Structure 1
Amino acid sequence: MDASAAPRSGRVLKLLSVLVAVVLAFFAGMLVERLRFDSQRTDMLRRYDQALRQHQLQLMQSEKQSSSTLTH
């Protein structure tokens, strides 16, 4: 019985090793995807913030021009 238990425990150990490797690869893939997504999101937010500031500046300039024409 001990002779048959050794190959079986070796098989279980190999199966667990493969399972751990698959789980680690899965989580590594998720981490890489999240980092890539975060980088793209940061770039998009930077462009959006720049466009928003430019739009607000144009609105302020337009309001200044319209108020100066009303006072004169």
Structure 2
Amino acid sequence: MYTGLMLALFILIMHDVAKFGWETQMWRMSLDHMGLMTPFNLTEGTLYALRIPDNGYPTRFHIWGSSHQIMHSLVM
């Protein structure tokens, strides 16, 4: 859900860029930071949805290194 909401944000960004221009939105929304944040969010969403590495080693990652913890690290 988090990744889907992040991808839906691009609709709003493209609307604002078309309406106000790239330079204004770069200043208002820090689009360079959003561009840097996007690969991390897509990676964390994929790892969490596929439960990597939890599925490969069922009892090994209960305390450290579970997909949920990796997701939170990449969000930060």
**Alignment TM-score, normalising by the size of structure 1:** 0.32
Comparing both chains, which one has the higher relative contact order based on Cα–Cα distances under 8 Å and sequence gaps of 6 or more? 2
Higher-Rg structure is 1
TM-score normalized by the length of structure 2: 0.31
